[in-house]
Chain A
């Protein structure tokens, strides 16, 4: 019991202190740029969890999901193809490294040019930007399939599609997930950035509108909303990863304690 209490205290202690500090420090604030936290929270509840949830947050999330899924599926498929062949890998690795090194947001102006400013452009920007970490990690994971495991599969006649499903993908999954995690952060960044240039809705668009019209409390609330979204998506990702990679975490623990 005391252990549970201690854990709760440890988890909530600092956040509560920080929140209280912000609350009281900003309570009577007349500083134009730092409105009281109470007003920010009002705006968060009224605006962001009110009409803007369907009007702005939802479209952003849909574009994010579409772009991210396209990138995830495409990159894993492509990564398996590239990773399986030594020659293809050698041929493409520097090219892929180069594409990964390009800061993804610089592609927004170019993609705007080519694909216009609609949802399609934003989805393509998100997909194109976040595919590189997923692709490169998949290639690496597929390359590193253990040789003994691979021989075992061969001797038991596990080849072709079965080999892919039972051996290659599970074996590469820790790295694929590492790539997917990096890709998710990039996708969120691009979701916001793609809405900053030209858009009629979306979280990024709405926050910048608020900032340009000097609706300060609403701007802060939008920033909080973005932060909350990033946090929740990371949490969701972790839940999925922990389920899918339970075997891997167990294996690592077993190796470390031996």
Chain B
């Protein structure tokens, strides 16, 4: 899985305006934004979103009950809810959550450190960038699940097999973003730094790292989501302890509502990871924008 930082995908960035006129310098449209069309009685997005979620829960409650969805496979949301409550009361559920999060966090940490260090090393010179480009382009799209057989052969169901998958998948997300970031360093700032006699390490510390930081954050966000997917996948397929194995057990024992409950839990974990890392990323980005003029050179 891969992605770009959100800000790079806007189709039509505004082209900066030229010099202003005589009456006023601003080229902005006058008056308030003409988008306010329908007056002041619009429902806020957050309320709408909540309504949507409530609607989903209601739909899943009603459709199986009136027979639109086969009840055998689609338990109503109240049953899923009580199965969830039942799970939350069990020690083994929390054990499984802990195992999944452990694999996720460890794998992500390893991938992050490796990605950042290698990214800065590779990105520090044109030569290394050019030398490694083809290899990275070849290795990156290799699906991490391709490694499952090897992971099983080498490590069985130990945590190492989970880590292998998680690290492989999330490493590329970090590395690619760091490489983008390192290449984004302002060449003028770079020349200035050299002219003032900053050494290689000082340039990395004061120039490369601050420039690359927002990219690192984007990479971390993407990597965090991928790492969670691979942690659960590994548990499900290889059988390392965690939410994935709990899910497989529930499914094979015919506990449908519990199976759905665990799917919901993985979804909630996913949302938490996304929201959390997005918040961190946003902070890093705003810091970046406001500090941009003051990059120490």
Contacts and interface: CB of A to CB of B under 8 A. Distances in A.
Interface of A: 10-15, 18, 33, 87, 90-95, 97-110, 112-114, 133, 137, 140-141, 144, 146-147, 149, 171-175, 178, 181-182, 185-186, 188-189, 192-193, 196, 204, 207-208, 210-211, 216, 219-220, 222-223, 226-227, 230-231, 233-235, 248, 251, 255, 258
Contacts of A137: 9
A255 B13 CA distance: 8
Interface centre among A133, A189, A210, A216 (most CB of B within 10 A): A189
Contacts of A94: 49-50, 52-53
Contact of A13 (B131, B256, B262, B271): B131
Contacts of A95: 52-53, 55-56
A222 B73 contact: no
Interface in B102-150: 130-135, 138-150
A226 B134 CA distance: 18
A207 B146 CA distance: 9
Contacts of A112: 251
A129 B276 CA distance: 23
B42 to A, nearest CB: 8
Most A CB contacts (10 A, CB to CB) among B51, B135, B154, B269 go to B135
B235 to A, nearest CB: 9
Majority secondary structure of chain B interface residues (helix, strand, loop or mixed): helix
Given A182-B1, A226-B142, A193 B237 contact: yes
B12 interface: yes
A211 B149 contact: yes
Interface residues of B, number: 69
B247 A106 contact: yes
B266 interface: yes
A94 B268 CA distance: 11
A113 B131 CA distance: 49
13 contacts: A15-B138, A87-B43, A105-B229, A106-B263, A113-B251, A186-B1, A193-B145, A196-B237, A208-B148, A219-B150, A219-B153, A222-B149, A231-B141
Interface of B: 1-4, 9-13, 15, 35, 43, 45, 48-53, 55-56, 70, 73, 130-135, 138-150, 152-154, 225, 228-229, 232-233, 236-237, 244, 247-248, 251, 256, 259-260, 262-263, 266-271, 273-274
Contact of B153 (A14, A100, A106, A216): A216
B134 A15 contact: yes
B149 A219 contact: yes
A15 to B, nearest CB: 6
Contact of B131 (A10, A106, A220): A10
B146 A230 contact: yes
Contacts of A108: 236
